[in-house]
Amino acid sequence: EIVLTQSPGTLSLSPGERATLSCRASQSVRSSNLAWYQQKPGQAPRLLINGASTRATGIPDRFSGSGSGTDFTLTITRLESEDFAVYYCQQYDGSPMWTFGQGTKVEIK
Amino acid sequence: QLQLQESGPGLVKPSETLSLTCTVSGGSISISSYYWGWVRQPPGKGLEWIGSRYYTGSTYYNPSLKSRVTISVDTSKNQLSLKLSSVTATDTAVYYCTRLPGYEFDYWGQGILVTVSS
């Protein structure tokens, strides 16, 4: 089983700042198999990025994904008030099995 | 617009079977090349994949839950179902119905909180 470790656990930033979230895999993950989600309190997760770097439909371009192998990054260039939430990475390993990271909370500083 | 709606009991007794239904509207659950699945989230915790069913009928489960889980489809009703047997308090969670076009979960239901308690 591939384990995804997200860091930091909590990121305290101000609106307008840049957020950089990390997702590290215990084994190499195909870029096509890596996704990112945003979850706000009381809501279902929302797909932000699939294929490590492709924004899902309707996702603003301030969200970007990058990385390969075991290290992946979600970047939010200029935080807006609605971006404060919990973010999860997720991978598919073909066994087939899907796993999630434990999440990074982006909170207002 | 595709919509997924979970339904079922919000309270289940320990050792009993949790049964949930997901009704899909705005699209067919039989569409080729898609998986349909379930994800859960214990209160205040992260997301856990439970299982996924491919349109061919092939079904895959999280190894940690495999002995207790069954996912099935009723194409006549456009519904996906989840059964989880021998539940304990650790199965208390919000359960989400999801669609997977491949490797990611692109549509989610609103979720249903199921509490396991006597």
HEC per residue, chain A: CCCEEEECCEEEECCCCCEEEEEEEEEEECHHHEEEEEECCCCCCEEEEECCCEECCCCCCCEEEEEEEEEEEEEECCCCHHHCCEEEEEEECCCCCEEECCCEEEEEC
Residue A45 contacts B, CB cutoff 8 Å: yes
Mean pLDDT of chain B: 97
Instruction: Say yes or no to pLDDT of A95 above 90.
Output: no
pLDDT in tens, A26-45: 999 999 999 999 999 999 99
* For A1, nearest residue in chain B (alpha carbons): B63
Mean pLDDT of chain A: 97
Side chain identity at B58, as an amino acid letter?
A: S
CB-CB contact of B35 with B99 (8 Å): yes
Query: Distance between CA atoms of B45 and B19, rounded to whole angstroms?
Result: 22
pLDDT in tens, B22-61: 999 999 999 889 999 999 999 999 999 999 999 999 999 9
Among residues of chain B, what percentage have pLDDT more than 70?
100
Look at phi and psi of residue B107 and say left if phi exceeds 0, alpha if psi is from -120 to 50, else beta: beta
* Listed residue (B25, B24, B51, B54) closest to B40, CA to CA: B51
pLDDT at position B34, please? 94
pLDDT at position B72, please? 97
pLDDT at position B105, please? 97
Place of tokens 């079904």: B59
Q: Looking at the complex, report in whole angstroms how far the Cα of residue B17 sits from the nearest Cα belonging to chain A.
A: 24
Distance of CA B73 to the CA centre of its chain: 11
Query: Distance between CA atoms of A36 and A31, rounded to whole angstroms?
Result: 12
pLDDT at position B31, please? 87
Interface size between A and B, measured as CB pairs under 8 A: 58
Residues in B closer than 8 angstroms to A98, CB to CB, are 37, 49, 52, 100, 103, 105
* Listed residue (B94, B50, B54) closest to B73, CA to CA: B54
> Does A99 sit within 8 Å of B103, measured CB to CB?
no
